[in-house]
Chain A
Amino acid sequence: MDINNEISNKNNVPYHWFYLDGFINALNEPPAIREAMARHNLYTNAPVYINPGELIVGNLDWALYNEPVINRISAHYVQQSVIDNIMDEPSIDSNEKKLLKHKLKIFAPYVLYNKISNVLSEEEQLVKECGIASSCHFNGHMILDYSYILEKGLRCVFQDVRKFLESEVTNEQKEFYEALGITISGMIEYIKRHGDLAEELISNNNPNYDRDMLITIRDNCYTIAEKTPQNFLQALQLLWFMMNFADYDSFGRFDQYMYPFYKKSAEEGMTDDEALVYLKHLWNKIEQCGYILNMTIGGILPNGNDGVNELTYLALKITRQLRFKSPNLCLRIRSDSPYELWQEVYENLSTGQSLPALYNESLIIKIFENSGIKSEDARDFALAGCSQVFIPGKSSFACDMGEYNVLKCLELALHNGFDERLGKQVGPYTGTPDDLDTYEKFLDAYRKQIKYAIEMGVSINNKDYLVRNDDCSCVRSMFTRDCLAKGKGIFQGGARYYGVQNEVIGLTNTANSLMAIKKVVYEEKGLTLKELVDMLDKNYEGNEDLRLMLLNRIPKFGNDIDEVDKIRADITEEFFKELNKHHAEPSGYHMPGEVIFTYHISHGKEAIASPDGRFAYEPLADSAGPSQGTDLNGPTAVINSMLKLPLELYKTCCCLNMKFSPSLWRSGKEKIISLFRSYFERGGYQLQINVVDKETLIEAKKNPEKFKSLVVRVGGYSAYFVTLPSELQDEIITRTEHKI
């Protein structure tokens, strides 16, 4: 089945009427009820589909993709591109277009971005535009309490909600429980409607469908609408419906909450091959929905025992077989995890698919415990989104609410607070290059810019939270402890744990730049600060030799060189500590880290040329690791450099990308596993591994400067690919193709 075709065929399905109409019809209701009615209308009236060949059903992703208005990640957004498409579509009646415009106008005040724009000060808008401190205004990914849902069943949760409603509650709580009741009754209805549709297809004898599959789908839907799942497949189906309701977010600890159902079905005769077929159906739905959904596997249980089970291995296996980009499979692992598991990881990564990513649970649990999170909760952590850490079903850790471009702060320090790109004074006046005549004075100027960025950033983030004070987020609140018990939504303080995940971007480039400034300007005095700044302003034009000096002669982070690694560690610690001086709404818990996502590209576009030899607007370093092509001492040196960072201060992930050529990868299984184990044994945080493909090598050949650190296996020895003679490169390119 060509899913893209399927999606485009459904383009004209007016899902938007259902959410929008529900919302507008309830405009005079309290905000919680308004959202619940909108969801209820979507769940109970939007068309449902069963695609031939699928055993697991549910397609609200089409609504998310093709709707002008969405409620994704628990906030209202308007998708301008979708609106434009509708307006340009000749087959859509002009009255309908007019009506949509009218409804969007009514809806506008409730759109999150509009709400936030209205409360930011001029200064805050300016730092956002400049990039030193910003926010994606994104409330963050989420992991619902899936074990609770699967163990209780939706009907039972509904009854719980009603019980709360009948107890003695305040008006606000009453609204909250009513909203949840409306939402969950819609959810149950949505599931039942899939059962009805299956029944209809069965009685019509539709030739496109397998009758037995339809019967299974029908029975599954009818069962899980009323009861707990009775087997593994029903649990997978309920989980997938929950993904629909949760606006397609992260799964949490899949192999843990699914295990009782797996076990039960296995005892009733399900083979692992059958389990793999069911998983394949789920993985297909995940791939087709288009979103990258995070899924965590492995790790210890809340009681401290090892939780790795048959499903952990089956999830690895199906991921390896299908080679999809999603689920974004995250494995919790320790240096002393069973060697069998490490070997399995090696097998998965050998496909070149880069999944799973590896998370050192020993460190992450310790970090959570140090932050005052109960051990049993800390041991239950999972990943969400890209690589953000969460306590599943108990936490609201707003992702990427804080985005800081540290290199841009350094740039402001070099320009007395002036942003060359915008042509505006953004930061405080911290001295002209002539004023900054010692390295200490320069560092001080840099620190003042950082301080200002953090002040602004925290203020923006707090507004991000407060502006949602009337947002019920019905689905999230219903399945996040302790919202239900407290009768409070997730933005009203109902969740057990709160935190703001901050992306601190450009630290490696900043450390490399500080190293250059320290050495060239203040120690060797080969250049004045003023001369350096002039050169940067001109993007090194006419100064290629000096740029190469800065790039090639100044030590860079990631080579196990103590001096620059220490600068990197120091500025990281300083930044994190400065951040912690401020209050974060609502709990005060800042979670700084370096996941980086694609921010190294977007924030690179904000920064002019930097003293590490980087040209203007080029990408920043692509994770917490070394800057591209500047780590020349091999993977052990990278790991040693990383271990000098204050890793225990990272409250969210510190990601490290590593690339291996397939031939090197193949030739050194035990050695590569040892490399990773050594990193985790000594407190490393995370690893994401690329075993590079032919295309990359071709690109490397074309642009050697960008691929300096790509290590390849040649013939009984290893070398940097770009240092090899052309014909040998060609030969290796061909060889790789044959072997992969």
Chain B
Amino acid sequence: MKSGFVFNIQRFSISDGPGIRTTVFMKGCNMRCFWCHNPESQELYPQIQFFLQKCIGCLKCVKICPHHAQLFEQGKRVYLRSLCVNCGKCAEVCNSQALVLIGKEMTVSEVMEKVTRDLPFYKISKGGVTFSGGEPLEQADFLRALLIECKKQNIHTAVDTAGNVSWEEFEKILQYTDLFLYDIKCMDNEKHKQATGAENIRILENLRLIQSAGFQNEIWIRIPIIPGINDNEEEAKKVVNFIREFKGISKIDLLPFHKMGKEKYESLGMEYKAEELLPVREDVLEKLVQIYRKNGFDANIESG
């Protein structure tokens, strides 16, 4: 497959692997973590985002929308998402960027054209390209093609995955991946299911399989710290017990929950389910990170 859905290509991305990197955010995810920081990544297809505060009231969208989803009623701009088919015609005419079509289909060469622009920066900083999402392995063939192209140009590759795909998908990319950024969200399967909509059995199994398949490169474990889900020491110890035997794990990043995604939920007409959550306390984070460090892992809290 030579094309796939991408919703952002972020340059000078400095927290998704070593060195200066470009992160390619791929659209589509088969999990629905209720705190998700990137709600625009969840659906595979492009979607309309609506930021009312940017609207200057030119009403070109109202005129152009073939499905009458964009309306002007009683002095107010109204967007009826139920009628919208995400054709993007409104976004095309919206100069104020109140309406934006998030996500687009890109070919491998289009993506490569963008990521190769920063080659000199990768070289001097020992950086490279990270594929994130969404779940990049949901588009494993596209991902594989991109990784092969990167390796042809000697670019360091990282894949940021939640791991919830069949092993066959991993097999497609294993030999072209220099680094996995591998999420572990919760060791308790029931809790995991409640919080993310998916079981963790396959996720944990895939991490084991990556090891047994003879993967020689690096793995960084990334753990989003979500209040009430995994912000306790017991959970951290379980993770330690699980990953202790694996060789390639060189780093553990704890990513404390934040409410960054909130406005994006609104712009997509989605319900934000993490409203009630409080930020993780620093002392809690510190305790957790110490557990990993005591067990010999290079663990860090990744916050600004």
Question: Which segment of B9-17, B72-80, B148-156 sits at the interface?
Answer: B9-17
- The answer, among B10, B13, B56, for a CB contact under 8 Å with A548, is B56
* Known pairs A636-B118, A717-B15; A663 contacts B259 (CB<8 A): no
Chain B residues contacting A671 (CB-CB under 8 Å) are 12, 14, 19-20, 125, 127
Is B95 a contact partner of A548 (Cβ separation < 8 A)?
Answer: yes
Q: Which residues of B contact A553 (CB under 8 A)?
A: 95
Q: A714 contacts B12, CB within 8 Å?
A: no
A634 interfacial by beta-carbon distance below 8 Å = yes
- B261 (CB) vs chain A CBs: closest residue: A725
**In the bound complex, CA of A725 to CA of B263 (Å):** 6
Question: How far is it, in angstroms, between the C-alpha of A637 and the C-alpha of B202 when the chains are bound?
Answer: 39
- Beyond the given A674-B127, A681-B124, could you list 6 further A-B residue pairs with CB under 8 A, ordered by the A residue number? A545-B58, A546-B95, A560-B117, A640-B118, A732-B304, A735-B304
**Assembled-state Cα–Cα distance A553/B100 (Å):** 12
In the complex formed, the residue of B with least CB distance to A681 is B124
Q: Which 4 A-B pairs have the closest CB atoms?
A: A674-B125, A713-B304, A716-B302, A548-B95
- Asked if residues B304 and A663 are in contact (CB atoms below 8 Å), the reply is yes
A549 within 8 A of B: yes
Contact A677 B124 (CB under 8 A): yes
A662-711: which residues lie under 8 A (CB-CB) from chain B? 663-664, 667-668, 670-671, 674-675, 677-678, 681-682, 711
A715 engages B14 (CB within 8 Å): no
Contacts of A343 in B (CB 8 A): none
Residues of A participating in the B interface, judged by any CB pair closer than 8 Å:
544-546, 548-549, 552-553, 560, 633-637, 640, 663-664, 667-668, 670-671, 674-675, 677-678, 681-682, 711-719, 724-725, 727-728, 732, 735
Cα of A668 to Cα of B17 in the assembled complex, Å: 12
Q: Which residue of A lies closest to B22 (CB)?
A: A636
| In the bound complex, CA of A671 to CA of B118 (Å) | 13
Cβ contacts under 8 Å, B14 to chain A: 664, 667-668, 671, 718
- The one of B60, B121, B255, B259 that contacts A675, using a Cβ cutoff of 8 Å: B121
- State the Cβ distance, B256 to closest chain A Cβ, in Å: 6
In Å, the complex CA distance between A682 and B262 comes to 41
Contacts of A663 in B (CB 8 A): 304
Query: B20 near A675 (CB under 8 angstroms)?
Result: yes
Q: In the docked arrangement, what's the CA distance between A735 and B56, Å?
A: 33
Contact call B121/A674, Cβ cutoff below 8 A: yes
B260 A724 Cβ-Cβ under 8 A: yes
Q: Which residues of A contact B258 (CB under 8 A)?
A: 714-715, 728
Name the residue among B60, B121, B302, B304 with the largest chain A CB count within 10 angstroms.
Answer: B304
Query: Is B120 an interface residue when CB atoms closer than 8 A count as contact?
Result: yes
6 contacts between A and B (CB under 8 A): A664-B14, A671-B14, A671-B125, A674-B19, A717-B15, A718-B14
Residue in chain B with minimal CB distance to A559 = B11
Q: A548-B56, A548-B95, A636-B20 known; A715 and B304 CB under 8 Å?
A: yes
* A640–B118 CA distance with the chains assembled, in angstroms: 8
Chain B interface residue number, banded: 20 to 34
Query: Is B255 a contact partner of A715 (Cβ separation < 8 A)?
Result: yes
Query: Do B12 and A634 touch (CB < 8 A)?
Result: yes
CA–CA, A635 to B303, complex, Å? Answer: 21
CB distance from A546 to the nearest CB of B (A): 8
A635's closest neighbor in chain B, by CB?
B12
Given known A-B contacts A671-B127, A715-B255, A545 and B20 have beta carbons under 8 A apart: no
1/0 contact trace for B237-265 toward A, CB 8 Å? Answer: 00000000000000001011011101100
B contact residues around A549 at 8 Å (CB) = 95
On whether the beta carbons of B124 and A716 are closer than 8 Å, the reply is: no
Which of A545, A552, A636, A732 touches B121 (beta carbons < 8 Å)? A636
* Chain A residues within an 8 Å CB radius of B262: 725, 727-728
- B259-281 residues at the A interface, CB under 8 angstroms: 259-260, 262-263
Q: Which residues of B contact A714 (CB under 8 A)?
A: 258, 260, 304
The chain B residue with its CB closest to the CB of A676 is B124
Within 8 A of A (CB), among B115-144: 117-118, 120-121, 124-125, 127
Q: Which residue of A lies closest to B96 (CB)?
A: A548
With an 8 A cutoff between CB atoms, is B196 at the interface? no
A723 to B58 alpha-carbon distance, docked (Å): 22
**Per-residue 0/1 for B160-194: is the Cβ within 8 Å of any A Cβ (1 yes, 0 no)?**
00000000000000000000000000000000000
B304–A664 CB distance below 8 A: yes
A552 and B11: CB pair below 8 A? no
Which chain B positions have C-beta within 8 A of A560? 117
A625 to chain B, nearest CB (A): 15
Q: How far is the CA of A668 from the CA of B15 in the complex (A)?
A: 8
Beta-carbon contacts of B25-60 to A below 8 Å, as 1s and 0s? Answer: 000000000000100000000000000000010101
Q: Which of A633, A675, A715, A725 contacts B303 (CB 8 A)?
A: A715
* Complex Cα gap A717–B259 (Å): 13
Known pairs A640-B118, A667-B304; A716 contacts B10 (CB<8 A): no
Cα separation A668 to B302 with both chains bound (whole Å) = 11
Establish whether residues A634 and B259, one from each chain, have CB atoms under 8 Å apart when the complex forms.
no
The B71-126 residues at the A interface (CB cut-off 8 A) are: 95-97, 117-118, 120-121, 124-125
A553 to B94, CA, bound (A): 10
Most chain A CB within a 10 A radius of its CB, from B56, B125, B127, B253:
B125
- Interchain CA distance A711-B97 in the complex, whole Å: 19
Tell me which residues across on chain A come within 8 A of B15, comparing CB atoms.
667, 716-718
